Chains A and B, each alone.
Chain A
Amino acid sequence: DAGVIQSPRHEVTEMGQEVTLRCKPISGHNSLFWYRQTMMRGLELLIYFNNNVPIDDSGMPEDRFSAKMPNASFSTLKIQPSEPRDSAVYFCASKGASGGYNQPQHFGDGTRLSIL
């Protein structure tokens, strides 16, 4: 079974450029999560969706960040304009509804983003 697929795996871009990270959740999963991992702040939840609807975006750092989930099999996290402090590993995770609360979130391999 295919896991969560993220692209690109690595992104290096200059400050001020728009960055788009992509995620394909596991088929049949109805919840999708975007996380950011840094040395200073650890793993932080940015936003999550249930059934393609954003439920909690309180972790989104500022208006430069936006996320969409146009359908059940695709989500994007966009940063515009990007800044060096956005450099981090960004993870996407998905979770199925069946089985209730004990279902784990399954993570993609992450996108390592470097803003110069």
Chain B
Amino acid sequence: AQKITQTQPGMFVQEKEAVTLDCTYDTSDQSYGLFWYKQPSSGEMIFLIYQGSYDEQNATEGRYSLNFQKARKSANLVISASQLGDSAMYFCAMREGQDGNKLVFGAGTILRVKS
């Protein structure tokens, strides 16, 4: 069964607007964590933001924020004031395993920012 689902294969957003990238997850664990990574066309994987299952507030990092809805098992990434440099593939990942070290990745969403 797929543990991380990113339903949007591709998204477009106008420069300076906000965009939400969807991520739903499936787990029976009480303690878990969700990560978002960015992969630009150059190929590297860049960590953006983390949300723990026990965190009471939604995580924020600069223009990135997480819309975490635990009951719905969703952890959507919100990028505010989009920039051309935000064009990339975005991956949602969930940590699992007894030591919390394993990451399971979703299929990714390609974001294109239009000028």
Kindly provide the distance from the CB of A73 to the nearest chain B CB, expressed in whole angstroms: 19
User: Which residue of chain B has the shortest Cβ distance to A109 in the bound complex?
Assistant: B44
Interface size class of B (residues with CB under 8 A): 20 to 34
Are B101's CB and A48's CB within 8 A? yes
User: A-B contact count, CB below 8 Å?
Assistant: 51
Q: Is B12 an interface residue (CB 8 A)?
A: no
Asked if B100 and A101 make an inter-chain contact with CB atoms under 8 angstroms apart, the answer reads yes
Q: Inside 8 A of B47's CB, which chain A residues have their CB?
A: 104-107
Q: How would you classify the secondary structure of chain A's contact residues: helix, strand, loop or mixed? A: strand
Q: Which of A90-116 contact B (CB under 8 A)?
A: 91, 93, 95, 101-102, 104-110, 112
B18 touches A (CB below 8 Å): no
Q: Interface readout for B14-56 with A: 1 if CB under 8 Å, 0 if not? A: 0000000000000000010101010000011111001010000
Render A31-44 as a binary contact track against B, CB cut-off 8 A, 1 for contact.
Answer: 10100000000110
Most chain A CB within 10 A, of B35, B45, B46, B104, is at: B45
Complex A-B: 18 CB contacts under 8 Å: A42-B106, A42-B107, A45-B103, A50-B99, A55-B99, A89-B43, A91-B45, A93-B45, A101-B52, A101-B100, A102-B50, A102-B52, A104-B35, A104-B50, A105-B47, A105-B103, A107-B45, A108-B44
